[in-house]
Structure 1
Amino acid sequence: MDELVGPRLYSCYKCRNNVSLHDDIISKAFQGRHGRAFLFTHVMNIVVGAKEDRTLMTGLHTVADVLCGDCNEVLGWKYERAYEPTQKYKEGKFILEKSKIVKENW
């Protein structure tokens, strides 16, 4: 039955641009600027902003905002560099805030 419906997706809450697959979630236990957030291995149809250093709950990271490729809404960020050895697993991964994405094909 899943093959008939298609993959479960997440889309931008504002314009419904598809931004990630449910299967690409690593963790749902993250905190964003506006509440809960999910850590993804891959995202699509997005624009990555300029890199900047930010002190987050888990220490200093170099991150870049992730914007919807259609409407330019900020959806989260990409971890470019983690300075703490225990946080290195986040490098190259993406945070999407739960309040900024909606489920499609569920």
Structure 2
Amino acid sequence: MEFYLVVSKNSFLVLYSMATSNDYNEIDLEIEKKKIGIRFRQIRKDLGYTSHEAFAYDHDLDRSQYGKIETGKFNLTLRVLVRALNAIKYSFSEFFNEEYDSIEVDN
């Protein structure tokens, strides 16, 4: 962790830290696929859908593919991810937010 000293116009001192490369944890593809699936499932249920198939059908998504997304067994392309985000009307920042970061996945 690196610390910096900042002086403002009013001579207030502020300390803040910035993450360094030592603080980086390698991203695990399988864990992220599961987290994405869990997040889509949470949002689908929040939208009132009990079935991934009904949701996919109503939003013109491939039902089998969407089911695999929710189970974390699908390697998402950017195209598929954007289609799914458009279906739930979420931006990247809305989807990959604190709720996403707090999802716990068993290895």
TM-score by length of structure 1 reads 0.26
Task: Decide which structure has the larger Cα Rg and report it.
Answer: 2
Higher normalized contact order (CA 8 Å, seq sep 6+, divided by chain length): 1
TM-score norm. by structure 2 comes to 0.26
Q: Which has the higher strand share?
A: 1
